[in-house]
Amino acid sequence: MNGKPKIDDDQSEALVTNNGSSPACPIKSCTDTSWYADAHDIEYSTSDRTYSFYRCQTCDILFIVPMLWDRLGEIYPKNYYSYAPKKRGIVPHQRSLERRLLKLLASIPGDRLSVLDIGGGSGWMLDQIKSCSPRVGFTQCVDLDGAAQAHAVARGHAYHLGRIEQFDTDRRFDLVQAFDLIEHVRDPALVLRRIAGLLTDHGRVLISTPNFDALDARLFRHCSWAGYHTPRHFVMFNRQSFTALAEQSGLAVESFSYTPGATYWAASVLNAMRRLGLVEVSPQRLPYDHPLYPLLKASFAAFDFARRPFARLSKMVFTLSRRCPPA
């Protein structure tokens, strides 16, 4: 453990410890976990406490301790980016996903398609899908943001206010999208199994999630890498570990790609500059509002775009389908 202190007493009771020191893996309760890094909330300053990330050698994942799954109101402040009308800081990434979405829809047969957006907020992405693909006849949002419900319903989307694990329906979906969601949940395997059960026979899933095996993740491993999104990212993957979990959950990977993680680069570099005393970033001010942030983001977007053909970037996009049961 390299001198890492014992786990705090207020950590989630769901985390079983190994010999009273290392927490068990949240995927399979594995016992071969070890401390990986400490991090702070460098974006929203929801607290000044230190959070720890542990790595499971068997599942090859990172997970946060403590995992505040029962205190979401504390770790998701009112100015959280996904609550804002303009998706500041992620628009280029979402536009790329939108193009991929529409191409994927064109490959799904049927005259009337049903689409589910998990974490869809006010349904702004579903708005785009409906306007671009007339075959989409039913759209459903599942989200925890009660303020977004009225907006989504007014736009013609069905809405479930709650977790996907609690979403009870007889409907099956031709497309399920979950953008930057799976890393936010307490039990990713359960969520993936739930998604698999909601698919039609020809249904597809589009998932994006951070990659902790990226250059920026390694460089800023011990400097509160922005991709940790501390303390809101609970479980994090690389390509191999997410593929393995998806297959164990009844899904098969049809396609995969890395995409630029300029937002992680920019926020991480800005935080490093703050630590060195080169810039001032007030705790009351989001790093995305700092005048240097757009320049840093544009620079690292170009950097990642140039590396994309051969590098493991810090964003991953998976297209999944239902896995055929063995004969």
Q: By percentage, how much of the chain surpasses pLDDT 90?
A: 72
9 pLDDT more than 60:
no
83 pLDDT more than 70:
no
| Dihedral sign computed on CA atoms, order 245, 228, 94, 191 | positive
Give the Å distances, CA to CA, from 126 to 143, 167, 315, 327: 13, 18, 22, 37
Cα distance between residue 315 and residue 53, in whole Å? 19
b/e map of 184-194 (b: 16 or more CB within 10 Å)?
Answer: bbbbbbebbbb
User: What is the set of domains in the chain, with CATH numbers?
Assistant: 90-322 (3.40.50.150)
23 pLDDT more than 50:
yes
The region of weakest confidence among 11-25, 150-164, 220-234 is 11-25
Helix (H) or strand (E) holding 98: helix 91-106
Split at pLDDT 50, 70, 90, the class of 5 is: very low
The region of weakest confidence among 75-79, 182-186, 201-205, 308-312 is 75-79
19 pLDDT more than 90:
no
b/e map of 10-39 (b: 16 or more CB within 10 Å)?
Answer: ebbeebeeeeeebbbbbbeeeeebebbbbb
Cα distance between residue 325 and residue 327, in whole Å? 6
Please give the radius of gyration of the chain, using alpha carbons only, rounded to the nearest integer. 20
What's the pTM value of the predicted model, to 2 decimals?
0.89
205 pLDDT more than 70:
yes
Span 168-189, average pLDDT: 96
91 pLDDT more than 80:
no
Split at pLDDT 50, 70, 90, the class of 20 is: low
Cα distance between residue 247 and residue 321, in whole Å? 10
Split at pLDDT 50, 70, 90, the class of 95 is: low
Task: Judge whether 122 and 153 are in contact, CB under 8 Å.
Answer: no
Listed residue (253, 251, 239, 247) closest to 209, CA to CA: 239
What is the average pLDDT score of the chain? Answer: 88
Q: How far is CA 198 from the centre of its chain?
A: 20
Split at pLDDT 50, 70, 90, the class of 80 is: confident
Burial of 171 (0-12, 13-18, 19+ CB in 10 A): exposed
Mapped onto helix, strand or coil, the DSSP state of residue 138 is strand
Split at pLDDT 50, 70, 90, the class of 262 is: very high
Q: What is the pLDDT of residue 6?
A: 44
Question: CB 168: neighbour CB atoms within 10 A?
Answer: 6
